[in-house]
Amino acid sequence: MTDEGWNGIRLELAAIELGGPENRRSSHVRLGCEIQGVVFEPCGVLYDDSAWRRWLWQLATRMGLSSHYTPFFRVWECEFQEDVWSGRLDLWAALSQFLRSAGMSRPDIDEVIAASRAKFRRFDQETRPFPDVRSTVRQLHTSGIQIAVIVRARLGATKIRQRLDQVGIGKLVTRVLSQQGEAAHMESAEWYQATLEALPGPARNWAFVGRQQAGLDVAHSLGLLTVALNHDADAAADIYIEQFSQLGQLLQRQGSAETAYSSAKAA
């Protein structure tokens, strides 16, 4: 069968790319590559990690800071988060510098930091899964797809496992890829590359489901299928989905396309 003969499958698969920005990496799902494993960035993908952030933003705006939520934390993610992840600064020192850069006075910063510590501990103990996460991950696991999570934040494997158990998928996750040893001090791109390269089998047989650009970029460069969910406005990925349940549909269709493609090649 000619390449043009697969346009129907491409259009069907492309229909799941909902809401993506103009800089999507491709207009269709790759054919002939069966997805055998999925790597999730759990924060903001498997569960909602925004409660403390929203509380912090509301407190800062009540104290006179003029900023919308998204650009406020975009500055944090681009300029300060890496210092925390790599261990150069602890969370509170980085947060103090962040608020200072936003124009907050030292007394106000001290007040926000003091209030934030207690709230952070409370919110950090709450893990709220997004709709359809349990059922979709269970569906993928039942179909034979390996489930892995990758966590750049400085959380131990035990803490990550606890959160996955709270989400209800802990027993389904076969691999937890987290910062350990010297790797914890790597820059994000270097760390993502070293961690993702350790996955078993060809990269083309893995999908990466994430929210932030750093992980999506490295996963794409290594040949993983990239799927963006709850993503930044300018995130670049192969596929965009609006609801977690669409992931099951996507990979089912991907598998059907791969089987048909292989049969056609054999013929």
The 10s digit of each residue's pLDDT in 144-203 is: 999 999 987 766 677 888 889 999 999 999 998 876 555 556 777 888 898 899 899 999
Please give the model's pTM, rounded to 2 decimal places. Answer: 0.79
CB 92 within 8 A of CB 82: no
Q: Tokens for 173?
A: 């996750």
Distance CA 211, CA 261 (A): 30
CB 216 within 8 A of CB 226: yes
From the centroid of its chain, how far is CA 97? 25
Residue 155 is given by DSSP the state -
Element (H, E) at 220: helix 213-222
Average pLDDT over residues 226-243: 89
Average pLDDT over residues 257-262: 42
CB 179 within 8 A of CB 191: yes
Q: Which residues contact 48 (CB under 8 A, 6 or more apart)?
A: 128, 129, 130
For position 123, what pLDDT does the model report?
82
Give phi and psi for 14, each to the nearest 5: -65, -20
Domain ranges within the chain, ordered by starting residue: 3-46+130-266, 49-124
CATH tag for 3-46+130-266 (out of 3.30.70.100, 3.40.50.1000, 3.40.50.150, 3.40.50.2000): 3.40.50.1000
Distance CA 163, CA 186 (A): 24
